[in-house]
Amino acid sequence: MVLFVWILCVAISGALLFMVMTGMLNHAIRRKSERDTWFEVNNQILNALFTLMCLYQHPKRFYHLVLLCRWKQEDISRLRKIYCSGGTYKPHEWAHMMVVVALLHLNCFAQYALCGLNLGFRRSNRPPIGVAICISVAIASPAIAGLYTILSPLGKDYETEVDLEAQDHATVARVEGSSPLRRISFEKRLSFALRDNRKLLESRPEWRGGLFDFWDDISVAYLSLFCSCCVFGWNMERLGFGNMYVHIVTFLLFCMAPFWIFNLAALNIDNEMVRGVLGVTGIVLCVFGLLYGGFWRIQMRKRFNLPANNFCCGEPGVTDCAQWLCCCWCSLAQEVRTVDYYDIVEDKFYRKQNNENDQPELSPLRREDRSVQSKSGHSSSHWEKPSPSELGMINTLSPSRFSTGSASPITHLPPVEEETSGRGKDSIMTPPVPSVIQRDDDVINSV
């Protein structure tokens, strides 16, 4: 809706500017001084609108540039979702993404240069060549970036050489190739995480306190009041809605940039009434910049299935935006308290388990009824006996990996490495079946 309003304002101002330039309004505006005023007013409005759009988009573009320079695995996945068709691998994707990001940055800098010319010079003193170059670059660079994204390998579909199943097998192979104790630890963490998440999944989460229950956590209320933008960005990153610094800068721009842009644009306009209208418009747009927080509150409520409030017009989205407009600090404090109360896993809320001392409580692993026999003597240095919980975990999660069909729990143990000083490299030793274990040291050594 905001984008539609922006496009509508650009279309109206652009149409008026075009009609004044071509003389279509000469019969309605007969004096040249009035036509010059209309031209400058619409020119400054268009300059302010396009500059605001570049300011709002530039933090994301800087963030994408940082991801390209860093180029880690998680960064590659994020960039593919934005610039690659289908979010999949493309040949020479780094170079193609860099070209697109560079063109988008060029668009922003050209618009900033044009804004400087419009604000720094009156129309009679404004260099026409500089204005023409800035306008040409500002329009051409995003158009070329869009065409390049479509026509380059970024917009084409390729057959992936490695499918998802092969990637899963590769992950399993890496886990199985590690040491036995690391495999046991991996399986134990996996078993605990899966079982604990199933147990603590919150199917019907609730907001923590009402909108004005800021006394529930007074420190969060103070932080939300005196450092709203920082707390907002930090909370959005915890929720998985993007980078913290991008949200902080964008929120600041929404709440501050319209005031400066529109009031600076009004300096070059001689008409007092138009100048006052532009100044008031900048202030109003700064207030409506709080709708940025309302938009993300809607996304938070929908993603995590939080209860809706139909107070305003029976529409939850309108109510969320109204809460941010009327009391942004209370809304932010409520969101932070809610996120603090839950754990976030896979875009879902999980209830935190606390004991009597308000500390996280760990659920015990499932016990194994059968006991495990251990070896004694010097052979114990070759194999460390797992605990019963580890045996139960291994039998439950991956019996096909570590067993050959025997029902005995000890046969489900993975091979262990035998460290001997007399051999140049480690050898693999499989624990024997309990019935085969004998007390004779020679028999044990032979096994």
Per residue in 180-205, pLDDT (tens digit) is 544 555 455 545 555 554 546 777 88
Q: Is residue 337 assigned to a domain?
A: yes
Give 113 or 382, the one with higher predicted confidence.
Answer: 113
Give residue 43's domain range: 2-159
Look at 27-41, 142-156, 419-433 and tell me which has the smallest mean pLDDT: 419-433
Q: What's the Cα-to-Cα distance from 286 to each of 52, 325, 435, rounded to whole Å?
A: 11, 11, 79
Here the tokens at position 6 are: 């922006």
| 7 lies in the same domain as 147 | yes
| Mean pLDDT, range 374-402, rounded to an integer | 43
Residue 72 lies in a domain: yes
* Distance of alpha carbon 83 from alpha carbon 153, whole angstroms: 10
Q: Which of 328, 351, 374 is the last residue of a domain?
A: 351
Q: Any residues with CB less than 8 A from the CB of 112 and at least 6 apart, and which? A: 51, 54
Centroid of chain to Cα 280: 35
Residues 12, 137 within the same domain:
yes
- Round to whole Å and give the CA distance between 200 and 193: 10
> Which long-range CB contacts under 8 A does 431-438 form with residues at least 24 apart?
431/383, 433/406, 433/408, 434/373, 434/408, 434/410, 437/373, 437/375
Q: Are residues 210 and 135 in the same domain?
A: no
**Does 255 lie in the same domain as 131?**
no
Instruction: Please write the tens of the pLDDT for every residue from 226-245.
Output: 999 999 999 999 998 989 99
One domain, residues 134 and 247:
no
Residues 146 and 29 in one domain: yes
Listed residues 351, 381, 408: the one ending a domain: 351
8: in domain: yes
Total domains in the fold of the chain: 2
34-38, 39-43, 167-171, 321-325: lowest mean pLDDT where?
A: 167-171
Q: Where among 351, 379, 407 does a domain terminate?
A: 351
Global confidence as pTM: 0.65
Give CA separation, 275 vs 45, 262, 282, in Å.
Answer: 11, 9, 11
Report the Cα 106 to chain-centroid distance in Å.
25
Residue with token string 């980078």: 243
Rounded to 5 degrees, what angle do the CA atoms 327, 59, 49 make?
75
Does 170 map to a domain?
no
Quick one: 210 and 138 in the same domain? Answer: no
